[in-house]
Structure 1
Amino acid sequence: MKPSQLVAGLIVIGAAAWIGSGVIGSDEPAAGAPDAPAAAAARPPFRVAVQMVANEDHARRVVLSGRTEADRRVDVVARTNGIIENLPVRRGSVVRQGEEMAVLSDEAREALVGQAKARLEQRRAELKARLRLIETGNLPALQKPVLEAELSAAEAAYAQAEAERDRNVIRAPFDGVVNVLHVREGQALQVGSPIAEVVALEPMLAVVEIAERELGGVRVGDAADVALANGGAARGRVRFVSAVASPQTRTYRVDVELEADGAPIPDGITCEVTLTLARVQAASVPRSALVFSARGELGLRIVDGDGIVGFAPVRLAEDGMERVWVTGLASSVSVIVQGQDFVAEGQKVEPVTHVSRGS
């Protein structure tokens, strides 16, 4: 055997003996090394920050996005035939109830009124004269009902002629603004032809859609605060709560009648409505304290008197930026507000009272 081969063999044998000695030696416990279970038992419990919370009589609030909507919007139409002779309004004109908006041509309606009036006077004179003849016996008494019926018919014809004459003047149905004008002076109209759309700016409604789980907390007459997209604000009260859900969204329409205070509110503007719902027993906890259980339930980790961690499922009553109101807790519990993500149910911990900045 060559010397180089002999040296290589000795090196391999020495390396194997050195590695083997380390493996064999690792099976023996080191002198004075503590036992693993004993070391775990000797470690102090994990410290968590806790906060005592209690249920309170809380008025829930919900913020909903919606829009303003005019309570009254009417298309004013012609009630008779004629040509527009006078059109004193324009788009955007403010009108008062009963104000003239358009005047149509006469079309002999005034003459028909005169004719009906003359016939009425004739019937009255005939009735007066014939009643005298009936009283003297020169005319049968049975003629009296016939004469009275003829007089009533004449009165009805006269009233009808006056009503037809008055239809040539189109008047505003209520106080509002002319939003759309469909006609011009000189245009010929027939019965039912649209003339203008009038929108009443008061009262103005804020219309929102509320989810079915919140529907039970809304009542007619409840107060509401409304923030408008143009920077304005208003207050109002719930006037209508729909009893039928929208087939598309499964939500319910709620109308809030806004108080007329200051400048008129535009129709169709985006708004946020804050509704105050029915009071419930709820507790205020930090939003960060909420966790999910292994089964996917939303809740809080709590600590009992022995320092054992538990889980309490809750439901959100009102959402907030930093704190939330929840229902489902006992009257008074110790909630883990820091360290809840590092412990598990059944684990023993060392609770430390946490003092919030707001307290």
Structure 2
Amino acid sequence: MNSKKKILIALGACALLVLWFLIPKQTKENNASAHASRALFKVKTQVAKEQKIQPFVLFNGVTVPSLRVALHPQSGGTVRKILVPEGKIVERKVKLIDLSKGSKKQNVIDKEAALEKAKIYHEGYSKLFEKGYISKANLLTARSDVKKAEYNLHLAKVSLSDRAIYAPFKGSVSEYLVKVGDTMNYQGPSQAICGYFIQLDPLEVEIHANQKQIPFMHEGLKADIIFDTGEVIHSALNFVKPETNKQTQKYRMTMLFSNPDNRFQAGVSVKVRVFYDQQEAVSVPQSAISYDADHLLIGVKILGANGTVSFKPIKIIHIEGDVFWIQGVSKGEKIIIQGGDFVRDGEKVTD
């Protein structure tokens, strides 16, 4: 009996000894496995999927006349009547201002004398040319002077009968610079201005693009003109100036829209939504956007098939709130959208 007890005690001691060796070894393996698992940082990813989008940019704009010209008298005189009030729409060739005839006979006499002088010179040059003293070019110049003098005399005679200022096209007078009784001393068509005439149908909208926006702008791009009332009018860019304004360093762009009866006036502030050309892009949340290690390039972090993080430069096409539309990522790539700020290029992570 004592022998059996001794055997049982010996077996129990051996079992305890075996367990003593096994238990610590198993714990170390578990700890190593747990440590390896904790070493892989977990991130959230999104599979890149390209979509067709038509991004837009919003501009501040203002309505302006599609045409604006200065009104010039064809001869001097006193303002007798202003026949059309400012702002009233009139057809082309409607009389706007009536001028008194004044004394314009002297102008006709002067032009007649100038014509006679030109004829005398031409006659003399003809004789000199026949004798070979001057070239044919000199003779032709003298003949041209006669033609000019004849035309100037014609204008002087017309000015005696036509003593009014007419609408150059369908539109309205935006501003008169004269009043009844004012005398206009005619010294040339560019020196005497009695008012400004504008066209508001079609009406023009003017906007300005900066140097980052201008590469995407061209004539024909669709645009929405948005008024404060909420009314939206569809249009398109019809002009993009090829050089900047020296003061603002911006590029002037315009569009037109129909404005019958001058429903909209010039000088109204509007918003303009200009749509870029349609293109392929990938949408990601703002949290996916990051910089490279040198903080020089903007991009996203990609989780490769082997679980390694890599930085990829991108081009931002459009931003809508917290959503960024980007190019530069291949279809099917895993973009890190959460946790990217805590991992580095080349690091292994899991999603």
Q: Give the structure-2-normalised TM-score.
A: 0.69
Residue 345 of structure 2 aligns with which residue?
A: 345
Q: 1:76 aligns with which of 61, 71, 75?
A: 71
Displacement after TM superposition at 1:346 (Å) = 2.7
Residue 147 of structure 1 aligns with which residue?
A: none
State whether structure 2 residue 41 is matched by structure 1 residue 46. Answer: yes
Contact 1:206 1:257 in 2 (8 A): yes
Relative distance call for 1:64 and 1:160 in structure 2 (3 A) is closer
Letter in 1 for 2:343: V
Q: In 2, distance between residues paired with 1:281 and 1:306? A: 28
Q: In 2, distance between residues paired with 1:332 and 1:84? A: 78
State whether structure 2 residue 313 is matched by structure 1 residue 313. Answer: yes
Relative distance call for 1:193 and 1:333 in structure 2 (3 A) is same
Residue 174 of structure 1 aligns with which residue?
A: 169
Relative distance call for 1:231 and 1:280 in structure 2 (3 A) is closer
Letter in 1 for 2:289: L
Q: In 2, distance between residues paired with 1:334 and 1:161? A: 82
Q: In 1, distance between residues paired with 2:39 and 2:249? A: 53
- Corresponding residue SS for 1:95: coil
Q: 1:103 aligns with which of 95, 98, 102?
A: 98
- Corresponding residue SS for 1:91: coil
1:1-359 equivalent positions in 2, closer than 5 A: 40-43=35-38, 45-107=40-102, 160=155, 163-191=158-186, 192-229=191-228, 231-260=230-259, 264-296=263-295, 297-351=297-351
Q: In 2, distance between residues paired with 1:193 and 1:312? A: 65
Contact 2:200 2:262 in 1 (8 A): no
Residue correspondences, number: 282
Relative distance call for 1:288 and 1:65 in structure 2 (3 A) is farther
Residue 140 of structure 2 aligns with which residue?
A: none
Relative distance call for 1:91 and 1:160 in structure 2 (3 A) is closer
- Corresponding residue SS for 2:287: helix
Relative distance call for 1:262 and 1:287 in structure 2 (3 A) is farther
Relative distance call for 1:181 and 1:156 in structure 2 (3 A) is closer
- Corresponding residue SS for 2:55: strand
Taking every aligned residue pair, what percent have the same amino acid on both sides? Answer: 24
- Corresponding residue SS for 2:320: coil
Contact 2:200 2:259 in 1 (8 A): no
Instruction: Deviation per CA, 1:92-128: give whole Å up to 9, x if none.
Output: 3333321111111133679x99xxxxxxxxxxxxxxx
Q: In 2, distance between residues paired with 1:283 and 1:224? A: 24
Q: In 1, distance between residues paired with 2:197 and 2:287? A: 52
Gaps of 5+ in 2: 1-23, 109-146
Contact 1:201 1:264 in 2 (8 A): no
Gaps of 5+ in 1: 1-30, 114-151, 352-359
Displacement after TM superposition at 1:308 (Å) = 2.2
Instruction: Deviation per CA, 1:238-269: give whole Å up to 9, x if none.
Output: 21122223334443222222344786332222
Q: In 1, distance between residues paired with 2:169 and 2:261? A: 20
- Corresponding residue SS for 1:97: coil
Instruction: Deviation per CA, 1:291-329: give whole Å up to 9, x if none.
Output: 223211211122122322222111211122131211111
Q: In 2, distance between residues paired with 1:88 and 1:249? A: 41
Letter in 2 for 1:199: I
Contact 1:220 1:237 in 2 (8 A): yes
Instruction: Deviation per CA, 1:153-183: give whole Å up to 9, x if none.
Output: xx97995466213431111112223222222
Letter in 2 for 1:233: V
Displacement after TM superposition at 1:184 (Å) = 1.6
Contact 1:236 1:259 in 2 (8 A): no
Relative distance call for 1:339 and 1:39 in structure 2 (3 A) is same
Q: In 1, distance between residues paired with 2:264 and 2:212? A: 31
Letter in 2 for 1:178: V
Which segment is superposed worse, 179-188 or 36-45?
36-45
Q: In 2, distance between residues paired with 1:309 and 1:233? A: 47
